[in-house]
Amino acid sequence: MSIHKKLFLALSFVVVSAMAVILTVRTPDTAIASSTQNVSGWGWSSNIGWISFNNFNNTSSGDTTTYGVNIATDGSFSGYAWSPNIGWIDFNPSFSIHDCPASIGTPGAPACILPHFDWGTKAVTGWARAVSNGGGWDGWISLAGAKLDGTDTYAWGADVVGWLDFKGVAVNATTLATPTISPASATYSNNVSVTMTGPIGATIRYTTNGTDPDSTSAIYSGAITVSTTGTIVKAKAFQTGYTESATASQTYVLTVATPTISPTTGTYANSVTATVSTVTTGATIRYTTDGSTPTVSSPTYSTPLTFTSNKTLKAKAFKTNYTESATQTATYTITLTQCSDGVDNDGDGKTDYGTGATNDPGCTDASDTTESPAPPVCGNGICEQGEPGVCRQDCPYDIEPI
């Protein structure tokens, strides 16, 4: 070793040792990861002192520089750590990986291992490198042997860094985004098909009894059907390497749709035929005609209802596990015409539409509004009342039709 290199190393050792004495008595600031990096805390080397893995560690000192180290869900590292003594330490996968100690002197050897984190064992492997390497030090720090589990585990950074204790370094898993449940909470008149979406790669687990999902809850794999009113669907996302999401929740109220009565309230001649329907599939419609509100024991509607006198029709629909519908009402006023009122309205001795001797010839139907016959039409080939002696074309014998 040359005299210059010996002198450099000696001076480096003196400076680093002096800094270490100062830093060993300093308690680092609280470690908090920023929103874009999930590694926080401090590493410790007896040679160079504290190494910060996130800029939030230095907030009390007024450091506003944005930096930090992040670990993705696949275990890959990115970003930079900071040492007051050796500067930036690169954890990015973009650094030159073909000249680290694992590859030197071994023809055909693969590139050295990029920094990697095992979410299961919390073990760290691969290499990081000090950006300001030089002066006899290549800057490589072997991460093999270190763990981010809160215990004393060590990386090795040659003579400059020495053993680097990772006990104070932690990884804070990114919180998964909250799943989306569709459709939203509301009142529906039929069964609801519920779908859920969440972060890519995450598993969505759900419940329908109002409890929060956990790692043992049902796994969402396709639309689920809600068929009971008041059902509360809750969903949560889970994925290795992430903090589980917040809980999404939607509440579904199922109420039978109010029946529709046709025709509506009004005045009708002689009779009216009413039909009743509801858009709720599988619902049972019950009705009354005495003005009372229908119950589950009221008559079941199955075919159209015909009324020949004044009636108040009320209808209500029911379905198991649904809230019963509101009540629909139609009031019918029935008016009788001259051809159905039992009165000889035109004084011809005949009454209403019917058969036999009492049939009024002016009535062709019970709904006719008048018993008076229509004026005769000469030339229609029919001998009508009033035509004999007037229309010989129809009544050649001058005899009044019976």
Q: Look at residue 119 and tell me whether its pLDDT is greater than 80.
A: yes
Q: Where in the chain is the domain with CATH 2.60.40.10?
A: 174-254
In CATH, the number for domain 260-335 is 2.60.40
Structurally, at CATH architecture level, domain 174-254 sits in: Sandwich (2.60)
At which residue do the structure tokens 């990386």 appear? 155
Cα R_g (the chain), whole angstroms: 47
Query: Taking CA 148 as the corner, what is the angle to CA 128 and CA 21, rounded to the nearest 5 degrees?
Result: 70
Q: Look at residue 400 and tell me whether its pLDDT is greater than 70.
A: no
At which residue do the structure tokens 């796994």 appear? 219
Q: What is the mean pLDDT of the chain?
A: 82
How far is the CA of 146 from the CAs of 39, 43, 123, 150, 391, in angstroms?
Answer: 14, 11, 6, 10, 124
Q: Look at residue 272 and tell me whether its pLDDT is greater than 50.
A: yes
Output b/e per residue, 239-265; b: 16+ Cβ within 10 A.
Answer: bebbebbebbbbbbebbbbbbebeeee
For 55-69, 121-135, 219-233, 257-271, which range has the lowest pLDDT when averaged over its residues? 55-69
Alpha helix stretches (DSSP H) within 112-221: 158-161
pTM, 2 dp: 0.59
> Residue 111 — pLDDT band, cuts 50, 70, 90?
low
Other C-beta atoms lying within 10 Å of the C-beta of residue 20: 18
In single-letter form, the type of residue at position 22 comes to I
129-181 confidence digits (pLDDT tens): 888 866 677 788 889 889 998 899 999 888 889 999 999 998 877 788 999 99
pLDDT at residue 110 in the model: 53
pLDDT at residue 292 in the model: 97
